[in-house]
Amino acid sequence: MATAQIKEIFTSIQGEGHLIGYTQLFIRFCKCDFECKYCDTDYKADGTAEIYTANSLAERIKSYDTKNIHSICLTGGEPLAESAFLKEFLRSITLPVHIETNATRTKDLQEIINMIKYVSANIKIPSVYGGKDCFKEHYEFIQLCKKARKDMYIKIIFDEHITDEEIKKSVEIAKESDTEIILQPVTKNGKIIVPARYMPEILERFRQKYWNVRLIPQVHKILAVR
Ligand code: SF4
């Protein structure tokens, strides 16, 4: 029986992407295969994380009054690092499922794609997050979501260092899959740290290449909710 370490389970208002403003039940997983330099999510296992089986998590979810909850949000960390667990757990879930992912684990997604409705696919920009180029992996992942007709958007976290080449590669992936890009400025300790003058400039650099791009900051941070 698969188990997973879960950092926290809570209800809150979704502050990113297509589902902004809906109340969701968030399940935050502990594992992540990235180390983004801007990451300010407290996802790592420590004394507050708990180990669940698929059954014990399903029981915990049943204890919530879900009539006003729009959907379940699988977040992290990287939820797809627990795909074996999710394959068991999601069978018992009746609410729509939304996954927030770094959009690189295509094989893991394949295992559970039929049980997912919404996808927030984060294209990682190397000059911003500080790691390797994953555009090929992102392309395969997003193509699979497209073929499976998921309700998806592409999230791109940016700062003033994003290059024209990175914008070009991101736009190619979005165009190929006919998917909206939502740009999100880097935040630190709840504050946007990208100078304001770069917002219209970077949005315009994307829009010169692709019409379907919006810039939306993390609304939950503005609202001061989780
Ligand atoms: S992928 Fe997400 S959770 Fe993982 S280090 Fe990057 S920002 Fe943090």
CA distances from 216 to 37, 113, 183 (A): 21, 27, 6
- Determine whether the shortest distance from the Cβ of 77 to ligand 1 is under 6 A: yes
- pLDDT value for 13: 97
- What pLDDT is attached to residue 221? 87
Per-residue pLDDT of the chain (226 residues; tens, 9 = 90+): 899 999 999 999 999 999 999 999 999 999 999 999 999 888 988 888 999 999 999 999 999 999 999 999 999 999 999 999 999 999 999 999 999 999 999 999 999 999 999 999 999 999 999 999 999 999 999 999 999 999 999 999 999 999 999 999 999 999 999 999 999 999 998 899 999 999 999 999 999 999 999 999 999 988 888 8
Strands 3-13 and 50-53: antiparallel
User: Hunting for tokens 């684990």 — which residue is that?
Assistant: 105
Q: What is the DSSP string of 60-123?
A: HHHTS--TT--EEEEESS-GGGGHHHHHHHGGG--S-EEEEE-S--HHHHHHHGGG--EEEEEE
Position 49 scores a pLDDT of 93
Backbone angles phi, psi at 166, to 5 degrees: -65, -40
Q: Please tell me the distance between residue 67's alpha carbon and the centre of ligand 1 in angstroms.
A: 30
Q: Which one, of 24, 21, 20, 22, lies nearest residue 10 by Cα?
A: 24
Per-residue tokens: 143? 């193509």
Architecture of domain 3-223: Alpha-Beta Barrel (3.20)
Tokens of 131: 């790691």
Task: Bin 184: left if φ > 0, else alpha if -120 < ψ < 50, else beta.
Answer: beta
Which stretches of 110-170 are assigned E, i.e. beta strand?
A: 118-123, 151-158
> From atom 8 of ligand 1, which residue's Cα is the shortest distance away?
39
157 CA closest ligand 1 atom index: 7
Q: Where are the domains of the chain?
A: 3-223
> Whole-model pTM?
0.96
Atom of ligand 1 nearest to the CA of 43: 3
Pairwise CA distance, residues 209 & 31, whole Å:
35
- Ligand 1 binding pocket mutation candidate from 31, 39, 156 (most atoms within 8 A of CB): 39
What DSSP element (H or E) covers 172? helix 164-177
**C-beta 36 within 6 A of ligand 1:** yes
